[in-house]
Amino acid sequence: MSVFVDYAQFYDVLYQEKNYEAECDSLEQIFSRYAKGTIMSILDLGCGTGGHVIPLTRRGYRVTGVDLSEEMLSKAQIKSNAACQSLDKPTFQRGDIRNLALNKTFDAVVSMFAVIGYLTTNDDLQAALRVARKHLQSGGLFIFDVWHGPAVLTERPMDRYKIIEADGERIVRFVHPELDILHHTVDVQYRILRLKDDLVLDEVSEVHTMRFFFPQEIVFHLECAGFRALHLSPFLHLEESLNERDWNLAVVAEAC
Ligand SMILES: C[S@@+](CC[C@H](N)C(=O)[O-])C[C@H]1O[C@@H](n2cnc3c(N)ncnc32)[C@H](O)[C@@H]1O
């Protein structure tokens, strides 16, 4: 089943509190700590609506964003046209991160907000890691975040909902997760209603199957794809050690 089709129209509203600038600060902190040279060019795998591409471009990087969803990319393009007028514009391209071949390399590859978690089989995961490796020179950095298995199994995904008021309308999102321990996945069922007063204007349902990962599994998969894991920590907290309450795991790897 396709994801980020109808969901795309609600994406920026639903994640309006996500602090992309702080996440780009964290990326820059990683660059300054682990990069062998100056990072100038960045490939964003699964760039979505450009949440990182646009601030990184504004900070002076040459950024290429790739995503499978035309709907997400078209939002990214519109936002980038407005936000990056006098700057070098980022490049957006539709593609599948399991078989992308841009035939060039970048100083860093990033894949943010659990994009790698959408690769639920080992074959797909390896394919995407090899794509990341192919777009880096030896010594280049690959940075991503995923759901951290120990936290998923400790806290357990739960039913939840979120209500957002926007432009006189109300967006209500219900989430119903189903955990599959054998496959390390959660089927996240999203149901979104757009309401005006008591009237339902729009209704969208999508199931996103998300994989969660254990640290040693990540290290192993990275090594199989030609990387060396440099750093694993709670997302946005590079100095801290991981524990079973950290749902988001940040990974820094170096191309061998
Ligand atoms: C949770 S969103 C994250 C978007 C963006 N990185 C952010 O931080 O806002 C996951 C994105 O991954 C993309 N994606 C999932 N699987 C993909 C694949 N195989 N190839 C390319 N993009 C993919 C989706 O279309 C979606 O835009």
The CATH number assigned to the domain holding 197 equals 2.20.25
Q: Looking at residues 115-133, what average pLDDT do you find?
A: 98
From the alpha carbon of 114, which atom of ligand 1 is closest? 1
pLDDT band at 130 (very low <50, low <70, confident <90, very high): very high
Same domain, 34 and 72: yes
Q: Tell me the pairing of strands 160-166 and 199-213.
A: unpaired
- Residue 198: its pLDDT value, please? 86
Which residue is associated with the tokens 């990214």?
Answer: 76
The answer, yes or no, to whether residue 167 has pLDDT greater than 90, is no
Better-predicted residue by pLDDT, 83 or 146: 146
Distance separating alpha carbons of residues 221 and 224, to the nearest angstrom: 5
Distance separating alpha carbons of residues 147 and 176, to the nearest angstrom: 17
> How many CB atoms lie under 10 A from the CB of residue 14?
16
Same domain, 127 and 179: no
Same domain, 16 and 137: yes
From the alpha carbon of 51, which atom of ligand 1 is closest? 9
**Measured in Å, how far apart are the chain's first and last C-alpha atoms?**
35
pLDDT band at 84 (very low <50, low <70, confident <90, very high): confident
**How distant is the alpha carbon of residue 136 from its chain centre?**
18
- Residue 166: its pLDDT value, please? 84
Q: Looking at residues 84-100, what average pLDDT do you find?
A: 91
> Rounded mean pLDDT of the chain?
96
SS3 for 51-111 is CCHHHHHHCCCEEEEEECCHHHHHHHHHHHHHHCCCCCCCEEEECCCCCCCCCCCEEEEEE
b/e 17-42 (16+ beta carbons within 10 angstroms → b): eeebeebbebbeebbeebbeeebebb
pLDDT band at 1 (very low <50, low <70, confident <90, very high): low
Distance separating alpha carbons of residues 119 and 30, to the nearest angstrom: 24
Taking a C-beta distance cutoff of 8 angstroms, is the pair 137, 255 a contact?
A: yes
Same domain, 175 and 244: no
Distance separating alpha carbons of residues 178 and 207, to the nearest angstrom: 10
Same domain, 158 and 37: no
Q: Is the CB of 187 under 6 A from ligand 1?
A: no
- Residue 5: its pLDDT value, please? 87
Q: Is the CB of 98 under 6 A from ligand 1?
A: yes
Counting ligand 1 atoms within 8 A of each CB, the residue from 118, 119, 129, 190 with the most, and so the one to mutate, is: 118
- Residue 46: its pLDDT value, please? 98
Q: Looking at residues 174-190, what average pLDDT do you find?
A: 98
Q: Looking at residues 1-12, what average pLDDT do you find?
A: 88
- Residue 2: its pLDDT value, please? 82
Taking a C-beta distance cutoff of 8 angstroms, is the pair 216, 242 a contact?
A: no
Same domain, 67 and 120: yes
Same domain, 68 and 188: no
Counting ligand 1 atoms within 8 A of each CB, the residue from 27, 68, 74, 210 with the most, and so the one to mutate, is: 68
Distance separating alpha carbons of residues 151 and 212, to the nearest angstrom: 9
Same domain, 46 and 164: no
pLDDT digits (tens, 9 = 90+) for 10-31: 999 999 999 999 999 999 999 9
Beta strands in 19-85 (DSSP E): 41-45, 62-67
pLDDT digits (tens, 9 = 90+) for 197-256: 889 999 999 999 999 999 999 999 999 999 999 999 999 999 999 999 999 999 999 999
Same domain, 95 and 218: yes
Q: Looking at residues 104-133, what average pLDDT do you find?
A: 98
pLDDT band at 6 (very low <50, low <70, confident <90, very high): confident
Q: Is residue 205 part of a domain?
A: yes
Nearest Cα residue to atom 10 of ligand 1? 115
Same domain, 46 and 113: yes
Q: Is residue 3 part of a domain?
A: no
Q: At 230, which CATH number?
A: 3.40.50.150
Q: Looking at residues 168-193, what average pLDDT do you find?
A: 97
Same domain, 201 and 223: no
Six-digit token string for 170: 């109300």
Which residue is associated with the tokens 């396709």?
Answer: 2
The string of DSSP codes covering 143-204 is EEEEEEHHHHHHH----EEEEEEETTEEEEEEEEEEEETTTTEEEEEEEEEEEETTEEEEEE
Distance separating alpha carbons of residues 22 and 44, to the nearest angstrom: 17
How many domains are contained in the chain? Answer: 2
Q: Which residue range(s) make up the domain with 196?
A: 152-210
Distance separating alpha carbons of residues 249 and 228, to the nearest angstrom: 17
Q: Is residue 2 part of a domain?
A: no
Q: Is residue 113 part of a domain?
A: yes
Same domain, 81 and 188: no
